[in-house]
């Protein structure tokens, strides 16, 4: 069994270990920690020609795929607070639960709005981390192809920060602060010591989660403005995920068995901790407004027979198949992933083909 992180914030819910932050002062201190010490090995290269053709093709695709978050989006489209923008059940946690509990439609709509503002705010903070980490990669990557691509990804991530923050400010009226669990995990990824670990953290874990979440939102939303934004972001993210696969294939080829084992453990530790929060950070902030007790919600979700299937959906979309393809989930860790409800069944093929070829 591999090691756990955030051990000071663990509590047992039956067999399941949750990560839970309850100390307001500690949470405030985490959010106030703006300076992070990150090691960077800056690497020059004198080889300006292309060494990895697929990567250079992807860079060309990236250039062609640029869009303008201010002028290419029709910002005059509404995002009405009193209309459903996601299915009432099966998409967001709070409205689904409240519906089952018999709450009126208005309350369910408000809960959906709160939860989605929260989710999108966390995605926004994640985009900022992607921007910062990708900037690090332009320094640390060894080949000019990778530097070209990482450089073009920086501007994509800037655009994602721009478009999501504008959507939140203009249409939802709030940006929620970063969740403590997410802040710790993002700091960990940003502070990963080598370019190989940075590439794993950024391109496989981050981007894999982003593709899964954005694709799910795009498929489920009925609001044209939100769908347009999320689809555009998701197209960029699938290029990033392709960069992840191409660069990680090389990383895996060049790594020692010890380095690979370290990466496998790192990936598991990050995903395990993320999953262990079970939305408690969100529920602590928003649950009580709608009469939902965070502990009760998590306990009853964990007790549902279909929980492993539902819980693993977002992970099984991209991040788990990609880790498996890269041989970063092996027999050593596979059962651990299954035990925590992140890996289910045998669907190791990514749902969408990565656009690696130009
Ligand atoms: Fe992004
Ligand atoms: Fe990205």
Q: Is the pLDDT of residue 357 over 50?
A: no
d(CA 323, CA 341): 16
Question: Model confidence at 70, in pLDDT bands (50, 70, 90)?
Answer: very high
d(CA 130, CA 156): 10
Which sign, positive or negative, has the C-alpha torsion 322, 328, 332, 337?
A: negative
Q: Quick: pLDDT tens for 72-103.
A: 999 999 999 999 999 999 999 999 999 999 99
Work out the percent of the chain whose per-residue pLDDT is above 90.
85
d(CA 290, CA 104): 11
- Determine the distance separating the centroid of ligand 2 and the alpha carbon of 299, expressed in angstroms: 33
Which pLDDT belongs to residue 241? 81
d(CA 126, CA 352): 22
d(CA 323, CA 348): 9
What's the pTM?
0.94
The answer to whether residues 48 and 144 touch, using CB atoms and an 8 Å cutoff, is yes
- Determine the distance separating the centroid of ligand 1 and the alpha carbon of 353, expressed in angstroms: 19
- Determine the distance separating the centroid of ligand 2 and the alpha carbon of 119, expressed in angstroms: 17
Which pLDDT belongs to residue 358? 35
* Distance in Å from the first CA to the final CA of the chain: 40
Which sign, positive or negative, has the C-alpha torsion 280, 121, 159, 167?
A: positive
- Determine the distance separating the centroid of ligand 1 and the alpha carbon of 63, expressed in angstroms: 15
- Determine the distance separating the centroid of ligand 1 and the alpha carbon of 99, expressed in angstroms: 33
Ion ligand 2, residue ranges at CB < 5 A = 130, 237, 240
- Determine the distance separating the centroid of ligand 2 and the alpha carbon of 160, expressed in angstroms: 8
Mean pLDDT computed over 131-142? 95
- Determine the distance separating the centroid of ligand 1 and the alpha carbon of 323, expressed in angstroms: 19
Smallest-distance ligand from the CA of 238:
2
Question: Model confidence at 14, in pLDDT bands (50, 70, 90)?
Answer: confident
Question: Model confidence at 183, in pLDDT bands (50, 70, 90)?
Answer: very high
Average pLDDT of the chain to the nearest whole number: 93
Mean pLDDT computed over 322-343? 94
Q: Quick: pLDDT tens for 233-281.
A: 999 998 998 898 888 988 899 899 999 999 999 999 999 999 999 999 9
d(CA 240, CA 149): 9
């Amino acid at each position: 069994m591999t090691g756990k992180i955030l051990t000071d914030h663990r509590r047992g819910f039956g067999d399941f270990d949750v990560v839970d932050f309850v100390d307001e002062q500690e949470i405030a201190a985490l959010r106030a920690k703006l300076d992070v010490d990150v090691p960077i090995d800056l690497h020059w290269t004198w080889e300006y020609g292309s060494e990895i053709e697929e990567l250079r093709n992807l860079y060309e695709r990236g250039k062609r795929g640029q869009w303008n978050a201010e002028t290419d989006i029709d910002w005059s489209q509404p995002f009405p607070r009193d209309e459903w923008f996601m299915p009432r059940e099966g998409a967001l946690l709070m409205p689904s639960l409240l519906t089952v509990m018999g709450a009126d439609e208005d309350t369910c709509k408000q809960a959906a709005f709160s939860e989605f503002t929260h989710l999108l705010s966390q995605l926004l903070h994640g985009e900022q981390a992607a921007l910062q980490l990708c900037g690090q990669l332009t320094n640390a990557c060894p080949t000019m192809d990778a530097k070209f691509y990482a450089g073009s990804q920086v501007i994509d991530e800037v655009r994602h920060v721009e478009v999501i923050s504008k959507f939140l400010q203009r249409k939802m009226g709030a940006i929620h602060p970063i969740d403590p669990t997410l802040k710790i995990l993002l700091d960990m990824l940003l502070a990963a010591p080598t370019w190989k670990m940075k590439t794993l953290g950024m391109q496989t874990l981050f981007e894999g989660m982003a593709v899964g979440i954005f694709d799910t939102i795009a498929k489920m939303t009925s609001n044209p403005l939100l769908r347009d934004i999320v689809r555009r972001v998701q197209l960029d993210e699938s290029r990033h995920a392709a960069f992840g696969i191409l660069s990680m294939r090389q990383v895996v080829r060049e790594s020692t068995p010890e380095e690979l084992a370290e990466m496998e453990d790192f990936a598991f530790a990050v995903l395990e901790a993320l999953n262990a929060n079970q939305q408690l950070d969100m529920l602590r902030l928003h649950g009580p407004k709608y009469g939902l007790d965070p502990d009760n919600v998590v306990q009853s979700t964990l007790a549902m027979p279909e929980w492993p299937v539902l819980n693993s959906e977002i992970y099984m979309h991209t991040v788990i198949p990609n880790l498996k393809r890269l041989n970063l989930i092996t027999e050593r860790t596979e059962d651990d992933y299954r035990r925590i409800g992140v890996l289910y069944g045998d669907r190791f093929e990514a749902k969408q083909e990565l656009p690696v070829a130009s």
